[in-house]
Copies of this chain bind each other. A is one copy, B any other.
Amino acid sequence: MLELRLVHGSLLKKVLEAIKDLVNDANFDCSATGFSLQAMDSSHVALVALLLRSEGFEHYRCDRNISMGMNLGNMSKMLKCAGNDDIITIKADDGSDTVTFMFESPTQDKISDFEMKLMDIDSEHLGIPEAEYHAIVRMPSAEFARICKDLASIGDTVVISVTKEGVKFSTRGDIGTANIVLRQNTTVDKPEEATIIEMNEPVSLTFALRYMNSFTKATPLSNTVTISLSSELPVVVEYKIAEMGYVRFYLAPKIEEDEDETKPQV
């Protein structure tokens, strides 16, 4: 028996909007500690990890660990039917091949039950070890989304370069080049507008803008985004979910040869 009651139901709606374009089908894993998901995107390039800790739910009952395979597009269709102020409860009976999403309006005058068929999905859970990063940038999530969108109008890839002074986002395309520099800035009025850089050594890495722009679908979940960079590891783009957990996106850097593929070979 599973019963997870989330007072801020809009949060679950935002989670689905954040990941449904990247991942078609995935297993949601439910245990005593929380409701989580780990999945590769459909082209097996990026990895998504979601965690909603049990403490964040008003009521959390999960009698035994279960894994529920869901089509995220269908799940999103159902969650879109929840009002933004609705309480959402996820319910499943042991051994059932369906999950039920219950939406309660704040006044309790409207109660909706949406029942969705579960799927069998093969998946292996990757252990993601804690790692040291060369540089960690925390910045306003809306600014990061704007930069990725702007650069995608010029080129296909973004070079992210971090120094102590700031972080530079660069691209190059048929019509020209673009460089956007954000200065470290910790003295703003609102903490969520700060750009904060923690750096052990300078780093400059290249990523596909297409994936970065997919990740920014998570922007409504958090005012800030944290980008962890290391030359030997996939970048981690993390959106914290207040008092509950996070959505993290992992993407391997493009290697240098890719960048220079238009140059003549020697």
Whether A195 is near chain B, meaning CB under 8 Å from some CB there, is yes
Q: What chain B residues lie within 8 Å of A113 (beta carbons)?
A: 178-179
In the complex, the answer to whether B110 meets A175 with C-beta atoms within 8 Å is no
- The A interface is mostly helix, strand or loop, or mixed, namely strand
Whether A181 is near chain B, meaning CB under 8 Å from some CB there, is yes
In the complex, the answer to whether A112 meets B71 with C-beta atoms within 8 Å is no
Whether A64 is near chain B, meaning CB under 8 Å from some CB there, is no
Q: How far is the CB of A249 from chain B (nearest CB, A)?
A: 23
Whether A115 is near chain B, meaning CB under 8 Å from some CB there, is yes
Whether A259 is near chain B, meaning CB under 8 Å from some CB there, is no
Copy count, this protein chain: 3
In the complex, the answer to whether B175 meets A117 with C-beta atoms within 8 Å is yes
In the complex, the answer to whether B81 meets A117 with C-beta atoms within 8 Å is no
In the complex, the answer to whether B109 meets A153 with C-beta atoms within 8 Å is no
* Known A-B contacts A110-B182, A185-B109; A115 and B177 likewise in contact (beta carbons under 8 Å): yes
Whether A203 is near chain B, meaning CB under 8 Å from some CB there, is no
Q: What chain B residues lie within 8 Å of A153 (beta carbons)?
A: 77, 80-81
Q: How far is the CA of A45 from the CA of B165 in the complex (A)?
A: 52
Q: What chain B residues lie within 8 Å of A110 (beta carbons)?
A: 143, 180-183
Q: What chain B residues lie within 8 Å of A151 (beta carbons)?
A: 81
Whether A150 is near chain B, meaning CB under 8 Å from some CB there, is yes
Q: How far is the CA of A124 from the CA of B175 in the complex (A)?
A: 25
Interface string of A54-95 (1 = CB under 8 A from B): 000000000000000001001001101100000000000000
Q: What chain B residues lie within 8 Å of A154 (beta carbons)?
A: 77-78, 81, 114
Q: How far is the CA of A143 from the CA of B178 in the complex (A)?
A: 39
Whether A127 is near chain B, meaning CB under 8 Å from some CB there, is no
